[in-house]
Amino acid sequence: GESVGLHLPTLSVQEGDNSIINCAYSNSASDYFIWYKQESGKGPQFIIDIRSNMDKRQGQRVTVLLNKTVKHLSLQIAATQPGDSAVYFCAETTSGSARQLTFGSGTQLTVLP
């Protein structure tokens, strides 16, 4: 069946290092992808999105890479800070369809001092 999943459920990085969080999706019709950050006790917060006509998109300290060939996207966080500790979700959907967002189960990022 259709699924959006993450390769690693947990990720620990040293403060100042770069973090890479991965996400695989199975629906070849998916063309819009979003990364969310969820801090403990809070609702998800939009980080960055990307459409399938792009391979890369950059924000402030974050970069999303999309590889449509292998149905994989990643979130890169530069110079990871303690405030980046959270659960990160990817979500995907298909433009122009009634299908709503499908969320992955999340990766817990822990930033070590």
Partner 1 sequence: EAQVTQNPRYLITVTGKKLTVTCSQNMNHEYMSWYRQDPGLGLRQIYYSMNVEVTDKGDVPEGYKVSRKEKRNFPLILESPSPNQTSLYFCASSLRGYQETQYFGPGTRLLVL
> Which residues would be at the binding site for partner 1 (CB under 8 A)?
4, 32, 41-46, 49, 89, 91, 93, 95, 98, 100-101, 103-106
Nearest CA to 86 out of 25, 19, 4 is that of 19
Provide the minimum distance between the beta carbon of 106 and partner 1 in the complex, in angstroms, as a whole number: 6
Give the other-Cβ count within 10 Å of 106's Cβ.
20
Provide the minimum distance between the beta carbon of 43 and partner 1 in the complex, in angstroms, as a whole number: 3
Residue 98: partners with Cβ closer than 8 Å, 6 or more residues away:
none
Provide the minimum distance between the beta carbon of 105 and partner 1 in the complex, in angstroms, as a whole number: 4
Residue 12: partners with Cβ closer than 8 Å, 6 or more residues away:
109, 110, 111, 112
Closer CB to partner 1, residue 35 or residue 111? 35
Closer CB to partner 1, residue 85 or residue 93? 93
Closer CB to partner 1, residue 37 or residue 80? 37
Q: Which two tokens stand for residue 70?
A: 């292998």
| Contact in structure between 52 and 65 (CB atoms under 8 Å) | no
Provide the minimum distance between the beta carbon of 6 and partner 1 in the complex, in angstroms, as a whole number: 9
